[in-house]
Amino acid sequence: MGAQVTDIVLMKVAGGALVPVDQQGLDYLAKIKLGAGVKVKVTKHNNVAFHRKLFALLGLAFDAWEAPPLQYKGEPIAKTVEQFREDITILAGFYDAAVRLDGSIRFTAKSWSFERMDDEEKERLYNSIINVVLSKILTKYTRDDLDNVVEQLLRFA
């Protein structure tokens, strides 16, 4: 059986411990049973503060989003942060397009892997996501309002 591979970002804190910087990392580590072994490949993350800022924005937008109650085959469809992240990234213009068998186009969100982005591309991603959040979710906010809320979230995290 193959190993499951998941990328999470950790930050070194007082005492030398490494802790997840976002909810995705916390959720992943919570699923690992005590005593279970994990293999870790360490790569120095080039901008943890920016990563935390982007994920704080994502969390704020996800919590504010009011998904319509939908069903498929009689079962409710849950809103997930993973699908939300994919959709908001596509709406922000960071996607790859491919043709499906039926001739329709499938959009796949580009990775938020900061190791593959330069500072200019990171800033474009963040600003584009801000624009989507302001136009689709937090429509009564200004850019300054949103920036202030994100900064407050980072202070309390």
Give this prediction's pTM.
Answer: 0.70
pLDDT tier at 2, thresholds 50, 70, 90: low
- Per-residue pLDDT reduced to its tens digit, 8-39: 878 778 888 888 887 788 888 888 898 888 88
How many CA within 13 A on the CB side of residue 49?
4
**DSSP secondary structure string, 35-93?**
T----------S-HHHHHHHHHHHHHHHHH------EETTEEPPP-HHHHHHHHHHHTT
- Per-residue pLDDT reduced to its tens digit, 72-101: 999 999 899 999 999 999 999 999 999 999
- Per-residue pLDDT reduced to its tens digit, 119-149: 788 889 999 999 999 999 999 999 999 999 9
Distance CA 66, CA 119 (A): 32
Which residues, 6 or more positions from 95, have their beta carbon under 8 angstroms from its beta carbon?
89, 107, 108, 109, 110
